[in-house]
Amino acid sequence: MATFTRDEHIFRDEDMLRDDYQPDSITARESELSSYQTALQPVINGAQPRNIFLYGKTGVGKTAVSRYILEQLQYDSNQYDDVSLSVFWLNCTNLSSSYQVAVNLVNTLRPDDDQISTTGYPQQRVFDLLYSELDAIGGTVLIVLDEIDHIGNDDEILYEIPRARSNGYLTETKPGVIGISNDFGFRDDLSPKVKDTLCEEEIHFSPYNAPELEAILERRAEGALYEDATESGVLSLCAAIAAQDSGSARQALDLLYQAGELARAAKREQINEDDVHAARNKLERSQVEHGMRELTRHGHLSLVAVLHLALESAGPFRVRDIYPRYRTIAEQSDIDPLVRRRMHDHLADLAMLGILDRHSRNEGRSGGQYYEYEFAVDLDLVANVVSDFEGLILPRRVVELTQSIE
């Protein structure tokens, strides 16, 4: 019979290592916090808020710092009777247009029993609904659009909300937008009028270095782990790996959490450096696996084509060898194959995801240049993922491999 007893080693409060945990203090972001505070100062003065744009890679504290400072702002604004501040937060991860953002904002502002449908309204109608919800609130309204880069080029909303008051759509409410983006390119590609309005104040979050990550980990480990839960060197190893790879605090925390789980599973009382290395492998594997699953159908076909070749010889493989395999598997699966150049784009994507290695070669005297590809990850891992693809007729050798590892 299984019996459960509470952990007495390793984790004191493992939820503190989860991604959605909001730390009650921020480490190593003094200058960003200070720029943020300056940009928000008009709010406390009861003036029209500035629009703020935050950008930086994933895991560098954009969301955590925003939550922290906006909570502080709300708390401090309560001291002033003539400041009424409301903050609304929308994560745009699954939203791909200004229209969808506007609909979701309307629904964020409305009570649960009065939601609007996510389709079917003309765009202007949705904006009108949004303005009337916003104006009904009054005072200062800050709207945080996190992960806003998912809307791509369809960025009208980033112009509409900041300009709503000067365009006469709002009289009671002073709106401000805080846009947060993981993608530098998104800022550059914003339409010029949006850039002028939204990017009044820009705050750039750079990747963390190893000492900064270690400081963040130490702070978090104080609550999350029991004293003595880590052998010496463990936190700095997590910090060093993450600093070298991404500069992401999320990666550093994930490493520590995963290493802790491995130590717990092995019923040890301390996390050691081997756990961290093993955690790193495990996380990398699951990331690659996730990358493979998320590919489009033609990405899947290209992957199977390279796998089929790799089961016959060591590689690397040229596109002219991969393409016929791809075509055959596509046709057997009743899918229209892409032209060679388009399939090559999928190979390039696989290389970008770290699933394939890509080398460029020169064709001797004729002067042409071509690419070669081979797997950067274990074939077993690939086969494992590939066996779950639906609607593909896999070559016999690939099927045999998937069966042999089950």
Backbone dihedral angles phi then psi of residue 153, each to the nearest 5 degrees: -80, -15
**Three-state SS for 92?**
coil
Residue among 91 and 270 whose Cβ is closer to ligand ADP: 91
* Neighbour count for residue 99 (Cβ, 10 Å): 20
- Taking CB within 5 to 8 Å according to partner kind, which of Mg ion, ligand ADP, none is near residue 61? ligand ADP
Do 147 and 58 meet the contact criterion of CB atoms below 8 Å apart? no
- Least gap, CB of 65 to Mg ion (angstroms): 10
- Least gap, CB of 283 to Mg ion (angstroms): 18
Widest pairwise Cα distance in the chain: 79
Q: Based on the shown chain and the rule CB under 5 A, indicate whether residue 181 belongs to the binding site for Mg ion.
A: no
How is residue 77 written in tokens? Answer: 């604004």
Residue 79 DSSP class: T
- Least gap, CB of 203 to ligand ADP (angstroms): 11
- Taking CB within 5 to 8 Å according to partner kind, which of ligand ADP, Mg ion, none is near residue 27? ligand ADP
Do 203 and 53 meet the contact criterion of CB atoms below 8 Å apart? yes
Length of the chain: 406
Half-sphere exposure of 134 (CA within 13 A, CB side): 30
Q: Based on the shown chain and the rule CB under 5 A, indicate whether residue 63 belongs to the binding site for Mg ion.
A: yes
Q: Based on the shown chain and the rule CB under 6 A, indicate whether residue 253 belongs to the binding site for ligand ADP.
A: yes
Instruction: Give me the amino acid identity at 92.
Output: C
* Element holding 273 (H helix, E strand): helix 273-293
Please tell me the distance from the alpha carbon of residue 157 to that of residue 127, in angstroms, as a whole number: 9
Pick the binder of ligand ADP from 49, 59, 247, 299 (CB under 6 A): 59
- Least gap, CB of 364 to ligand ADP (angstroms): 47
- The footprint of ligand ADP on residues 206-245 (CB under 6 A) is 216
Q: Based on the shown chain and the rule CB under 6 A, indicate whether residue 19 belongs to the binding site for ligand ADP.
A: yes
How many positions of this chain bind ligand ADP (CB under 6 A)?
19
* Beta bridge mates, 230: 271
Residue among 55 and 317 whose Cβ is closer to ligand ADP: 55
Give the contact letters, 249-288, x = binds to Mg ion (CB under 5 A), - = no.
----------------------------------------
Residue among 91 and 333 whose Cβ is closer to Mg ion: 91
Please tell me the distance from the alpha carbon of residue 362 to that of residue 369, in angstroms, as a whole number: 5
How is residue 291 written in tokens? Answer: 């990358």
- Taking CB within 5 to 8 Å according to partner kind, which of ligand ADP, Mg ion, none is near residue 26? ligand ADP
Residue among 260 and 299 whose Cβ is closer to ligand ADP: 260
Residue 16 DSSP class: G
Pick the binder of ligand ADP from 52, 60, 145, 242 (CB under 6 A): 60
Pick the binder of ligand ADP from 110, 163, 250, 397 (CB under 6 A): 250
How many positions of this chain bind Mg ion (CB under 5 A)?
1
Q: Based on the shown chain and the rule CB under 6 A, indicate whether residue 61 belongs to the binding site for ligand ADP.
A: yes
Is the preceding peptide bond at 316 cis, omega within 30 degrees of 0?
A: yes
How is residue 336 written in tokens? Answer: 């229209």
Region from 47-55, 58-66, 137-145, 268-276 binding Mg ion, contact rule CB under 5 A: 58-66
- Least gap, CB of 249 to ligand ADP (angstroms): 3
CB-count burial class (<10 Å; 0-12, 13-18, 19+) for 398:
buried
Nearest partner of 186 among 80, 307, 57, 347, judged by Cα: 57
In the complex, which residues of this chain contact Mg ion (CB under 5 A)? Answer: 63
Binding site for ligand ADP (CB under 6 A): 19, 21, 23, 26-29, 56, 58-64, 216, 249-250, 253
